[in-house]
Amino acid sequence: MIDTSSLTAQTIGLEKFSPSILGTYEDCPRLFYYQNWLGLKLDEDRLHLDFGNAIHEAINQVYLEYDDNFGGAWSAGDFEKVKERFLMYWKQSNVPEETFTKFMSTAAGSESGFTKKEDLYEDFKEDGLIMLKAYWDKKEILLVEYGHDLVDFELYKKQILFNPLNDTEKLPIPASYRIDARNRDNTKTVDFKTSKSKYNLEETRKKIQGQLYLLGQWCETGKFCGEFDYTVLRKGLKTDDRIEVVRLVYDEADLVACFYRIQAILAKIANREFDRPSRGHANYCQCIKFEEALRIET
């Protein structure tokens, strides 16, 4: 039984938390300790992060094409503007020499046949444009079948979360997060991902990210909304159909349970429980890289 009665900002030792921080702790408290508690960083490049940001910006442009031509809707829209927005953010400078060198040291790099950084840039560029064209071609289906009439993008939130059924039960530090998009009538939240792998519905539903976003919306508006979609743009597929929608539906009990789930994680952090998981710990976890960098014997 975890004691949460004395849970404060001081005992937790954090100023705020995010879905990624909570997810890291649940996956591996030891990794959380190195990465979030001590604030250590590995020498990681931004290749995939920058590519994902460029994709997000381009998808935003898709819906600007819809709203700017409302009445004519997308029939008056122009995919070339989506392409231009993507290329505004995906530039050759996103693939410096050191990033190319790291890529070539991987199995994918050795199999690629690339000889210079420009080859890697062009490969991501071509794949990104194929994914975005697939999204453009499927946008009406996403609108009609999934309710993806998206108007609000890049929503930054910092708020104290509470139990919506008892607002006297509050978390002592705020949640800080960024929502990719919400639809026009605020009935659905959407997060965009790029991935080579197919998402597993059951495993994805367990992720804390979507539940936290919906809990935050409930706390902010007083209105329950239980729909959260991951829209996955699939990398490197031979087929032109690159869009996968993972539709997640939660009820009120799920979001109340999410509040207590977060509270329990914060209590464990306050208790300084930073041991590696005894079961199910991935042998590729980055906590091992931190320990190798620190030369810690385990």
Question: Over 60: is that where the pLDDT of 69 sits?
Answer: no
Give the H or E element holding residue 157. strand 150-159
Residues 186 and 261 in one domain: yes
Pairing, β 175-183 against β 243-249:
unpaired
Mean pLDDT of 76-99: 91
59-68, 163-172, 247-256, 273-282: least confidently modelled range: 59-68
Mean pLDDT of 70-88: 78
63-77, 126-140, 168-182, 231-245: least confidently modelled range: 63-77
Residue 100 counted as domain residue? yes
Q: Which domain holds residue 255?
A: 9-40+150-280
Domain with 223 in it: what CATH number? 3.90.320
pTM of the model: 0.90
Question: Over 70: is that where the pLDDT of 172 sits?
Answer: yes
**Block residue for tokens 């508690």:** 37
Query: For residue 241, what pLDDT is reported?
Result: 85
Say which residue, 2 or 48, is predicted with more confidence. Answer: 48
Write down which residue in 124, 146, 168 finishes a domain. 146
Query: For residue 45, what pLDDT is reported?
Result: 77
Number of structural domains the chain divides into: 2
- Which pLDDT band, with edges at 50, 70 and 90, does 17 fall under? very high
67-81, 102-116, 247-261: least confidently modelled range: 67-81
Residues 185 and 110 in one domain: no
Question: Over 60: is that where the pLDDT of 297 sits?
Answer: no
Residues 196 and 72 in one domain: no
Q: Angle between the 97-104 and 117-146 helix axes, to the nearest 10 degrees?
A: 80
Query: For residue 5, what pLDDT is reported?
Result: 67
**With the CA atoms of 91, 192, 61 and 75 taken in that order, what torsion angle do they form, in degrees rounded to the nearest 10?**
130
- Which pLDDT band, with edges at 50, 70 and 90, does 3 fall under? low
Residues 74 and 222 in one domain: no
Residue 298 counted as domain residue? no
d(CA 124, CA 51): 8
Residues 133 and 160 in one domain: no
Question: Over 60: is that where the pLDDT of 136 sits?
Answer: yes
Residues 162 and 102 in one domain: no
d(CA 252, CA 186): 17
Residues 236 and 160 in one domain: yes
Residues 173 and 249 in one domain: yes
Residue 296 counted as domain residue? no
Query: For residue 283, what pLDDT is reported?
Result: 84
d(CA 18, CA 16): 7
Q: 199-206: long-range contacts (C-beta < 8 A, 24 or more apart)?
A: 199/230, 199/232, 199/244, 199/246, 201/246, 201/248, 204/230, 204/246, 204/248, 205/248
Question: Over 90: is that where the pLDDT of 295 sits?
Answer: no
